[in-house]
A and B are shown apart, each in its own frame.
Chain A
Amino acid sequence: DVKVTQSSRYLVKRTGEKVFLECVQDMDHENMFWYRQDPGLGLRLIYFSYDVKMKEKGDIPEGYSVSREKKERFSLILESASTNQTSMYLCASSTGLAGVIIYEQYFGPGTRLTVT
């Protein structure tokens, strides 16, 4: 079975802190994604990556950055956490080369981040 793991299920941080959310997949997938999910807004794409050291902005990249130094690991970074970044963060991965049709995405369990 494909497994996508996220470093924490619950996280509480203070305003202004630098926050790292880690995601690891074990299926050698090329593509990895970070979403946030808020009540009434559905899932919104923050960033995605189709290869090591490659990244693309999604719909809401402001206030976030990402890092992909190894194929299996995709990190989401909040440079200076703010209360409006309190949310559920979901990581996903999928197979598929750049330019190929969307394949099935596998999601992690999510990290519920609270910024106080």
Chain B
Amino acid sequence: LAKTTQPISMDSYEGQEVNITCSHNNIATNDYITWYQQFPSQGPRFIIQGYKTKVTNEVASLFIPADRKSSTLSLPRVSLSDTAVYYCLVGDKVPGNTPLVFGKGTRLSVIA
């Protein structure tokens, strides 16, 4: 079971770029890396998913080094509305022997 480790919390000022790193040392060959965002009193929302190198969409970028033992979610120019909990997930198949593990996430606080 691929376990992930993230910082518990981070603070940032508005307009800054925020990078949240996730460690997944025992990631398997078939595992993908997925990030979710959760606002208070809401369910998590998918942000981005990748397998290797770099993935970018309108919301964020995901950087994955060659050994895939970690990944970095990059949020460009954050605003107050980006204050949320961010979860890193690693897994491949559903069903299978790899249940989805959200973990505790990283609580990002954006300050004006």
Give me the interface of A with B, judged by CB distance under 8 Å.
4, 31, 33, 35, 40-45, 48, 50, 54, 56, 58-59, 90, 92, 94, 96, 98-102, 104-110
Contacts and interface: CB of A to CB of B under 8 A. Distances in A.
Interface in B27-60: 30, 32, 34, 36, 41-46, 49
Which one of B30, B87, B102, B103 has the highest number of Cβ atoms from chain A below 10 Å of its Cβ?
B102
A102 B34 contact: yes
A101 B93 contact: yes
Contacts of A92: 43-44
Given A4-B43, A48-B99, A106-B46, 8 more contacts: A42-B104, A43-B87, A48-B94, A48-B95, A58-B99, A99-B96, A101-B92, A102-B94
Contact of A102 (B42, B43, B100, B102): B100
Nearest to A94: B94
**How extensive is the interface on chain B, given as a class?**
20 to 34
B111 interface: no
Contacts of A109: 41-43
A67 to B, nearest CB: 17
Give the dominant DSSP class at B's interface. loop
Contact of A104 (B46, B100, B103): B46
B10 interface: no
A33 B43 CA distance: 12
Contacts of A94: 94
Contact of A43 (B30, B45, B102): B102
Interface in B90-112: 91-96, 99-105
